[in-house]
Amino acid sequence: QSHVGILAFMRPFSYEVWAYIGIAYIGISFLLSIVNAVNPYEWFWLAKRSEASPQEGRTYLPWNSLWNAYGAFAQQGAETVPQSFAGRFISGVWWFFMTVIVASYTANLAAFLTGSGNRPTINSLMD
C-alpha cells in the first residue's frame, strides 16, 4: 500500500528536476531584469526617455520579473511583454520551456495516478 503525503503532487518529477526548474526560474527572472536594465529598447529606458509611463518602467524589475516568469509556469499571460528582441526571445524560450514542462508533468502525473495501483499478475513460472 502506497503512502500518499502532502507532497505527493511532486512525485511525477524527481526533487532534482524541481530544483533545476527553480534555479531556471530565478535565473530567467534575473536575466529579464538585467536585459531590462541595459537594453535601451526596454521599458526601463523608455520610461526614462518619457516614451512610457513610470509604471511601465518598473515592469521588469527583479520582483516583477519573478511574477512574470511565474505566470508562464502557471500558464497565464503577462500584462506587459518585453519590448526588445532580446527580452522577447528570452521570454519566448521560457514560455516554450514551461509549456513542455507542464505537459510533461501532466502526462507523468496521469501515469503516476493510474499506474500506481497496478501489480503484476504473473507471480511464478507456472502462471
Terminal-residue alpha carbon distance, the chain? 24
On average, the pLDDT of the chain sits at 81
Q: What is the pLDDT of residues 1-36, one digit of tens each?
A: 455 678 888 888 989 999 999 999 999 999 988 888
Q: What is the distance between the alpha carbons of residues 36 and 23, in angstroms, rounded to a whole number? A: 20
pLDDT at 21 (0 to 100): 93
pLDDT at 127 (0 to 100): 62
- Higher-scoring residue by pLDDT: 77, 33: 33
- Higher-scoring residue by pLDDT: 112, 54: 112
pLDDT at 110 (0 to 100): 87
Q: What is the distance between the alpha carbons of residues 105 and 99, in angstroms, rounded to a whole number? A: 10
Evaluate if residue 123 carries a pLDDT over 80: no
Q: What is the distance between the alpha carbons of residues 89 and 101, in angstroms, rounded to a whole number? A: 18
Residues comprising the chain, all counted: 127
